[in-house]
A and B are shown apart, each in its own frame.
Chain A
Amino acid sequence: MKRFLLFIVFAAFVSPALVSAGESGAEILKARCASCHDLKGPAPATIRQLWKRDAPDLFYAGNKFRREWLVAWLQKPVRIRPAGVNYLRTINSTPTHQEKTKKGRKYDVLWGAVLKPLKHVTLSKQDAGAVADALMDLKPHTALVAGVTLDTSKKVSLDAGEVIFDKVYGCTSCHQIEPGYGGYTGAELYTAGKRLQPAFMLSYIKRPKNWDPKIWMPNLHVSPDDLQKITNYLILLSKEDFSESN
């Protein structure tokens, strides 16, 4: 009898997991993702709201991501933002912990959990596919990418692209274009071509504020020609194999 009772308790515990195998993508999003990610919008409109954000907004995922990337990443999530979603929470600026440049100048350092591998929900292949479909349905910002297309004739070599990206606009101050090469407070961009839709990149770089009104990426007034070149460069860059240096 005791065993039987134990069995019942055990079954009650395990069954929600069994049921979840049949959950739809939208249900998984609501049940397992909405506690951290904003799935409804709008994006934070004040600095105070911005600082409360714990995870990237997903409410315009269908305007932003490439589906193949979502399916793969959700099964094997890795860090995308070296300083986390909010760099102000992950920096140590006490003089004893600051590091020094070659010339002896001190600077603030990343600190804590952000230096360890990302901890994130991992989905099965089937769930990842279902969730990716549900995310791709979230398209409130279609107007921002309407008529925005990549001009593949504006191709650049990796070297020429890096000159525009680094020397002309100074994007490397905040973004890495190789693991460990570049600043920390923006998302890594050596994977951007795989992760993001070209139209999103074009539109975001042109005016980040349209997507995320209070974000700490400035509008760098990139010329239309350079905008196309930078986006082609980022796509070319993400075809490189960075796994060795990882």
Chain B
Amino acid sequence: MNPIKFLFTVAALMFVASPAVHAEEAYLNYKTYCMQCHGMHGKGDGVNVPAMNILPRDHSDNKYMMKRTNTDIYKAIKFGGPAINKSVRMPPWGDTFTDQEITELVGHIRSLCCEKELVRGVNFK
């Protein structure tokens, strides 16, 4: 392979591979930190549910989640429920994740609720 072709391949691979890597990291983060309350399927059915008087949001609830902007979701994750007038039962995760990781988590949640809309290229702001 000539060097230029090689460079092209590397560049192409980086372009293709990195979103996938990010998606996987976001999934791992969601699994480790969020599933304890939001459930293994993100349906708000985590193992801690019996201890909670306010139930965790069902992230696959398309009708509700379509009404939320990406900014709402980002703020809820970083600063906790009270930042969007919701319960303290949703804790703040700003000290656990970088801003980049939170943005990726927003993307992951969108894939749980709004797959079809994502494919259509809906802008969630």
Within 8 A of B (CB), among A39-54: 47-48, 50-51
A88-B31, A183-B51 in contact; A216/B88 too (CB < 8 A)? no
A93-B39, A107-B39, A218-B92 in contact; A173/B48 too (CB < 8 A)? yes
Report whether A87 and B96 are in contact in the complex, using a CB–CB cutoff of 8 Å.
no
Which of A21-29, A129-137, A154-162, A164-172 makes up part of the contact surface?
A164-172
Output the nearest chain B residue to A106 by Cβ-Cβ distance. Answer: B45
Report, as a range, how many residues of chain B touch the other chain. Answer: 20 to 34
Question: Is A105 at the interface (CB under 8 A from chain B)?
Answer: yes
Chain A interface residue count, CB cutoff 8 Å, equals: 39
Question: Is B36 at the interface (CB under 8 A from chain A)?
Answer: yes
Within 8 A of A (CB), among B13-27: none
- Min distance, Cβ B58 to any Cβ of chain A, angstroms: 9
Question: Is B37 at the interface (CB under 8 A from chain A)?
Answer: yes
Output the nearest chain A residue to B54 by Cβ-Cβ distance. Answer: A170
Question: Is B112 at the interface (CB under 8 A from chain A)?
Answer: no
Report whether B48 and A185 are in contact in the complex, using a CB–CB cutoff of 8 Å.
yes
Question: Is A150 at the interface (CB under 8 A from chain B)?
Answer: no
Contact check: which of A108, A169, A170, A176 meets B45 at CB < 8 Å?
Answer: A108
Q: In the complex, what distance in Å separates the CA atom of A218 from the CA atom of B81?
A: 13
What are the residues of chain A within 8 A of B40 when measuring CB–CB? 91, 93, 108
Within 8 A of B (CB), among A87-129: 87-88, 91, 93, 98-99, 101, 105-110
Report whether B92 and A220 are in contact in the complex, using a CB–CB cutoff of 8 Å.
yes
Contact check: which of A50, A91, A219 meets B32 at CB < 8 Å?
Answer: A50
Provide 12 A-B residue pairs closer than 8 Å at the C-beta atoms, listed in order of the A residue: A83-B47, A88-B31, A91-B40, A93-B45, A107-B49, A107-B50, A108-B49, A183-B47, A185-B48, A216-B36, A219-B92, A221-B92
Q: Which B residues fall within an 8 A CB radius of A?
A: 28-29, 31-33, 35-37, 39-41, 43-52, 55, 87-89, 91-96
Excluding A93-B40, A107-B50, 7 further A-B contacts by CB distance (< 8 Å) are A88-B32, A88-B35, A105-B44, A108-B45, A173-B91, A176-B51, A214-B32
